Amino acid sequence: MSKDKTILVRIYVVYVVIALFGIGILAKLFHVQFAHSADFDEITHQQIYERRTIKAPKGNIYASDEQKRTLAISVPRYNVAMDPYCVGQSTWDEGIDSLAYHLSQNFPRRDKDTWEKFLTYRRDNKIMYAMIEDSVTYAELQKIKAFPIFRKGQFKGGLVATLGSHRVKPYGALADRTIGKVKEKPGEDSLYVGLEGAYRDQLLGRDGQTLMKKIGGNQWKPVHDEFSVDAINGHDIYTTIDVNIQDVAHSALMRQLEEQQAARGCAVLMEVETGHVKAIVNLERNSKGYYKERLNQAIGRRSEPGSTFKLASLMVALDQGKVRITDSVNAVGKYHFYDKTLKDSRSWGYGRITLARAFEVSSNVIAKVINDNYQENPQQFIDGLNDIGLNDKLGVEIVGERSPYIKNADQADWSGITLPWMAIGYELEQTPLQTLAFYNAVANNGKMVKPQFVTEIRDGDEVLERFDTEVLNEQICKPSTIKDLQSMLKGVVKSGTAKKIRPRGFEMAGKTGTVQLIDDNGSYSDKHQASFCGYFPADNPKYSCIVLVQGPSKDIYGAVVSGTVFKEIADKVYASSIEINQTTGGDEELVLKAPKSKIGSKQELVDVLKVLNVPVQNEANSSDYVVTSSGERKVKIENRKIEGGTVPNVVGMGLVDALYLLENSGLYVKIRGSGTVKRQSISGGIPLVRGNTIIIELS
């Protein structure tokens, strides 16, 4: 074959191969197009469209005051993480040292070196997610985005920010355990605490669904279709808690616990007629020596009540006609029951006194009186306690209420000393709230009502459910017995064990209690529990209150340890209550000086002073916020100027006004303490840098 023919054959072979290859490609294209088009349409659809859940905002929890102050609210927060593996090597080498420094300055739980090791380890091990911080505000996120490496964005800098919702309690530790929390853990035990747990279904709302379309990069936009469902907000819960009273009770108890270096304590204040709990404080010392709201002791921790139970013992004996408060008893100071001896705090006794006086001085001769009258039939005494309802749970909506423990006479652990010991509050157990409910019934002329924490559930302004006062026992004893008990409770404060805490201007009624605590081995220890339970004003009472302190280190007696807290709460609540603090001098003006007020919103302040009929000297014509000063008969208000572009001066303001101004200025606010702002870390009036953190201290 000639050379030309050889070349020609080769050319034809190449053409044929190319033609066959092209035909094969075309055949494959037609096959894919027509045979598998549905499969690829589905894949393409999945890559472009995605159905996502829209989380419904939880409902708010409100206080009982007319200002509708929020105790718990959901706010948008970001979870910030990093994908260190996606960052280029040169970018990483140049910026990791600076990034670690910035993280240590803003999130000091790790120092600079630890942050660098933390992120480097994840990069080296190809871990594509490293959590930086959760619950970050928008202002904080903008600051983080400017950090080294992060400023290059999500794909080159590895910053991952996910929008979520965070539950915020604007008043910090106030009623923290009662407001509660919910932690849903799929496949594990979930945690339902306080009102958040009790009303979790009403607060949660209903999640929605929407179709999202990918429009480039990692950006998505909603596409509304017939299957989209809007999220429905959770319902709002309106509680009985009064923020002002709660603050008073929290501060008073905290001071006493710190003074006594006690292990724990609680205080509850309740409206006598309605059972509305206006304040509930539960503080316990942690391993670092700080007092925090942990277990809801008032509801979930029971103990031997001690001498406060003497009221129930005498109620049964009086109501069954066994004794009268005018009966004479010989309070010798020591009372023998088999091989055991009970002593009075005054070991030489009180001599021959009336039963009412024995109660006022808390003599343990009451144990002898009960034993003498019931030792032949102790179950009659137990039945009397049960008729009151002292052996039943109150049935409050908050999870964790402990059942009271009261023995029956036929139980195996009943002994010869059980009856006298029970008479003075030993060998039985109650929670503080159960004790308070009983005392509240005495103040309420015999009607026992259920302690109540929530009054309404609302959807916006629409009331979905209203909770009325629930009566547990219409009449716990005879009216004549109630009168006797009320008289004795007044006597305790007038001339008995609590006479040192007797207030001026109004009368209190109540009973002290001191009891030894049982240790882990079941024996009585050298630790004590001090309590005071009562109500005020003594005539026509408005509020009942219990204060209980466990493990005080300086004093042990109820009047000194718990009674002083009770008195402080009663004094401040009485002084601030228009309803119960009425003047009795006709038209005579007893209060000459105008009330003091916090710096804050001009319009709100003017409205309040108008309701209180307090004259106002208004010299604030150019500002929405004002400074106040009290004269002899009027309040003077002057401008507190808030200049744009500068840090607001919030010293002297309440927390709500201060937060509103600072956060609206773009500052991230950290709060210390409670009450009125006394100091701010960035002075008012200096140039504003949005995203900076400012610390405000309240007192």
Same domain, 509 and 419: yes
Q: Indicate if 299 and 230 belong to the same structural domain.
A: no
145 within domain boundaries: yes
Does the pLDDT at position 629 exceed 70?
Answer: no
Answer with the one of 196, 219, 239 that is the final residue of a domain: 239
- 391 and 303 in one domain? yes
Least confident range of 235-239, 401-405, 606-610, 627-631: 627-631
- Tell me the C-alpha distance between 330 and 273, whole Å: 38
Judge whether 74 lies within some domain.
Answer: yes
- Does 341 share its domain with 398? yes
pLDDT (0 to 100) of residue 104: 93
Give the residue with greater pLDDT, 626 vs 238: 238
Identify whether the C-beta of residue 307 lies closer than 8 Å to the C-beta of residue 558.
yes
Residues 447 and 306 in one domain: yes
Dihedral in degrees, nearest 10, Cα atoms 222, 223, 228, 229: 30
Query: What is the model's pLDDT at position 640?
Result: 67
Predicted pLDDT of residue 660: 79
Is the pLDDT at 214 greater than 70? The verdict is: no
**pLDDT at residue 212 tops 70:** yes
Asked if 51 and 142 count as a contact pair (C-beta separation under 8 A), the reply is no
Are 135 and 251 found together in one domain? no
Last residue in a domain, options 239, 256, 279: 239
408 plus 519 within the same structural domain: yes
Average pLDDT, the chain: 86
In a domain, 582, yes or no: no
Residues 610 and 486 in one domain: no
In a domain, 316, yes or no: yes
pLDDT category at 205 given cuts 50, 70, 90 is confident
In this predicted structure, the answer to whether residue 650 has a pLDDT above a threshold of 90 is no
Position 119 pLDDT exceeds 70: yes
Q: Answer yes or no: is 48 within a domain.
A: no
- One DSSP character per residue, 48-81 reads HEEEEEEPPPPPPEE-SSTT--EEEEEEEEEEEE
Confidence at residue 526, expressed as pLDDT on a 0 to 100 scale: 83
Q: Structural domain of residue 144, as residue ranges?
A: 53-239
- Confidence check: pLDDT of 395 > 90: yes
Do 302 and 451 lie in one domain? The reply is yes
Domain presence at residue 41: no
What average pLDDT does this structure show over 449-478?
A: 95
What's the CATH number where 445 sits?
Answer: 3.40.710.10
Strands, DSSP E only, in 559-644?
600-601, 616-619, 625-630, 635-639
What value does the CA radius of gyration of the chain take, rounded to a whole number of Å? 35
CA distance 11 to 632: 116
What is the arithmetic mean of pLDDT over 287-292?
90
Can you state the percent helix, strand and coil of the chain, rounding each to 5? Answer: 35, 25, 35
* pLDDT score, position 12: 72
pLDDT one-digit tens code per residue, 27-84: 777 766 666 565 555 555 555 777 777 777 789 999 987 667 889 888 878 888 898 8
Tokens of 204: 């949660």
> Among residues 534, 549, 334, 511, which one has the least CA distance to residue 420?
334
Give percent of the chain with pLDDT exceeding 90. Answer: 52
Q: Are 309 and 428 in contact (CB under 8 A)?
A: yes
Which of 188, 206, 239 is the last residue before a domain boundary?
239
pLDDT at residue 585 is higher than 50:
no
Tokens 């144990």 correspond to what residue?
A: 367
The predicted structure's pLDDT at residue 588: 38
Q: Which pTM value belongs to this model?
A: 0.72
- Residues 152-179: tens digit of each pLDDT: 887 888 898 877 777 888 888 888 889 9
Per the CB < 8 A criterion, the answer to whether 607 and 597 are in contact is no
Whole-number Å distance between alpha carbons of 135 and 164: 8
Contact between 236 and 69 (Cβ < 8 Å): no
Regarding whether 607 and 470 lie in a shared domain, the answer is: no
Confidence of residue 591 (pLDDT cuts 50, 70, 90): very low
Q: Are residues 410 and 305 in the same domain?
A: yes
CB contact set of 657 (below 8 Å; sequence gap of 6+): 598, 599, 600, 601, 625, 650
Q: What is the CATH number of the domain that holds 182?
A: 3.90.1310.10
Identify whether 471 is part of a domain.
yes
Same domain, yes or no, for 273 and 316? yes
User: What percentage of the chain exceeds 70 in pLDDT?
Assistant: 85
Tokens (6 digits) for 134: 């959760």
- Count of beta carbons in the 10 Å neighbourhood of residue 37: 10
d(CA 420, CA 335): 10
Tally the domains of the chain.
Answer: 5
Q: Are 177 and 171 in contact (CB under 8 A)?
A: no
Domain assignment present for residue 174? The answer is yes
Cβ contact 471:446 at 8 Å: no
Could you report the per-residue pLDDT of 10-21, keeping only the tens digit for each?
777 777 778 777
